[in-house]
């Protein structure tokens, strides 16, 4: 909802390229509120907050490592794109959980510096990247191996999140990927849902 309101106020643009996307939705200074009144909106109920890989990560604000559970699509050009430039909005991924892919437990790794609005704006964007593999024939077997299960997860579009990634291979870019199976990904928001709700005259 906050992202939808931001886009409505900014001609359908998905965030500015200046400053982190978190700082464009939330203000540390209560006297100058933005689109979110509480930092906890960035936190998933499944996020245990503590993560040995990110020491001092906390659910509190006014901290250099305030937890963020969600990341924006890290595909180049997503931040700053106008909604009317998205060729396949129904499969366009905006946000996804920024889980720690190196951990066997459920852990998240996103953080933002909420000690001041300036520091939050200067924080690295919390991002997620996705990888896909080409379909392969599964051998006829009674049992499915762990490796085959992993391959099937990738084939169905599961995201492998990481923080601040710059180099991405086979991103889930709607303009170049077929719109297959991505509708079934749970917990992801499409820009169409966000933008249509606030602007009923917009057409995909």
User: What's the domain count of the chain?
Assistant: 1
Model's pTM, two decimal places?
0.60
Which of 148, 146, 145 minimizes the C-alpha distance to 156? 148
- The C-alpha atoms of residue 158 and residue 152 are separated, in whole angstroms, by 9
Tens-digit pLDDT profile for residues 171-200: 444 443 444 343 434 444 555 555 555 555
The pLDDT of 123-151, averaged and rounded, is 58
Which of 98, 96, 97, 84 minimizes the C-alpha distance to 192? 84
pLDDT at 113: 95
pLDDT at 68: 95
- The C-alpha atoms of residue 85 and residue 130 are separated, in whole angstroms, by 21
- Domain of residue 93, residue span: 1-204
- pLDDT at residue 62 tops 60: yes
Q: What angle do CA 68, 91, 78 make, to 5 degrees?
A: 55
């Amino acid at each position: 909802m906050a992202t939808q309101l931001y886009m409505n106020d900014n001609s359908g643009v998905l965030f500015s390229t200046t400053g982190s996307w978190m700082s464009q939705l939330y203000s540390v200074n209560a006297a100058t509120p933005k689109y979110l009144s509480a930092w906890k909106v960035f936190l998933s109920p499944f996020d245990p907050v503590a993560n040995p890989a990110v020491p001092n990560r906390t659910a509190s604000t006014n901290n250099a490592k305030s937890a963020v559970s969600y990341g924006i699509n890290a595909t180049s050009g997503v931040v700053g794109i106008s909604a009317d430039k998205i060729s396949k909005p129904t499969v366009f991924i905006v946000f996804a959980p920024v889980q720690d892919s190196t951990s066997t437990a459920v852990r998240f790794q996103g953080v933002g510096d909420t000690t001041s609005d300036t520091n939050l704006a200067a924080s690295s964007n919390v991002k997620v990247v996705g990888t896909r593999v080409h379909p392969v024939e599964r051998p006829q077997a009674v049992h499915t191996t762990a490796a085959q299960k992993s391959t099937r997860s990738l084939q169905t579009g599961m995201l492998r999140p990481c923080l601040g990634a710059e180099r991405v291979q086979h991103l889930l870019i709607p303009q170049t990927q077929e719109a297959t199976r991505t509708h079934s990904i749970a917990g992801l928001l499409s820009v169409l849902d966000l933008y249509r709700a606030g602007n009923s005259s917009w057409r995909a």
